[in-house]
Amino acid sequence: MHLPDGILSAPVWIGAGAVTAGALALCVRRASRQLDEQRAPLMGVLGAFVFAAQMINFPVPGGTSGHLMGAVLLAVLLGPAAASVVLFCVFLVQSLLFQDGGITALGANFINMGLVGSFGGWAVYRLLAGGGGQARRSLAAFVAAWAAVEVGALLAALQLWASGSAPLMPVLWTMGTVHAFIGIGEGLITVATLRFLSAARPSLLESVP
């Protein structure tokens, strides 16, 4: 889902960059007020984990592959604001050092995977998890992670269409279909990681901002 340089039109990537600048400033401010001494160092640890995990691809039908996005996982552990900040740092390093996502497309990639994934996925998770037990929370995490990937992919498709890089219906179909399978992998990895942390360090899942 990482959009490269040169594929978005100037109005689209400039607009996305402006939205990202404002949203990131708000997220930094909110995260700085909410994080305690335990979760502040956790941001760095989880950021390193997601960065490394995104380098590992898994195959999906159609001859392509996907990797962990990590937005819902981070949002559940840190809160959506801090998760967005961590993901922006991950995307920035990836674009600068590994050419995984373009510099001009950084704003669009952050919106699609960082903001939508963290805040949208967090909202879905909270709505479905409620005050339920571990089974319900696991189902909520799976659905939220899947939805975050799918909605982010469809947003990227719309940005490609708005840039004149692809016709609307084919790009929506292709992105939506491929990422529906990638979302399954995202959901399974998210649930497995949260269940492991719940058993090993249950305090991490308590009092999330």
Mean pLDDT of 103-129: 93
Least confident interval from 51-65, 114-128, 141-155: 51-65
Compute the distance between CA of residue 59 and CA of residue 63 in angstroms, rounded to an integer.
7
The band of 206, judged by pLDDT with boundaries at 50, 70 and 90, is: low
Could you identify the residue written with the tokens 């889902």? 1
Mean pLDDT of 88-107: 88
Chain Cα centroid distance, residue 200:
24
Measure the N-to-C terminal CA separation of the chain; round to a whole number of Å.
28
Q: How many CB atoms are closer than 10 A to CB 86?
A: 30
Average pLDDT, the chain: 87
Proportion of the chain above pLDDT 70, given as a percent: 89
- The answer, yes or no, to whether residue 62 has pLDDT greater than 60, is no
Asked if 75 and 125 count as a contact pair (C-beta separation under 8 A), the reply is yes
Domains in the chain: ranges and CATH: 10-205 (1.10.1760.20)
Compute the distance between CA of residue 78 and CA of residue 154 in angstroms, rounded to an integer.
26
Q: Hey, what amino acid is at 144?
A: A
pLDDT, tens digit, 9 for 90 and up, residues 31-49: 888 777 666 777 888 888 8
Could you identify the residue written with the tokens 């037990």? 133
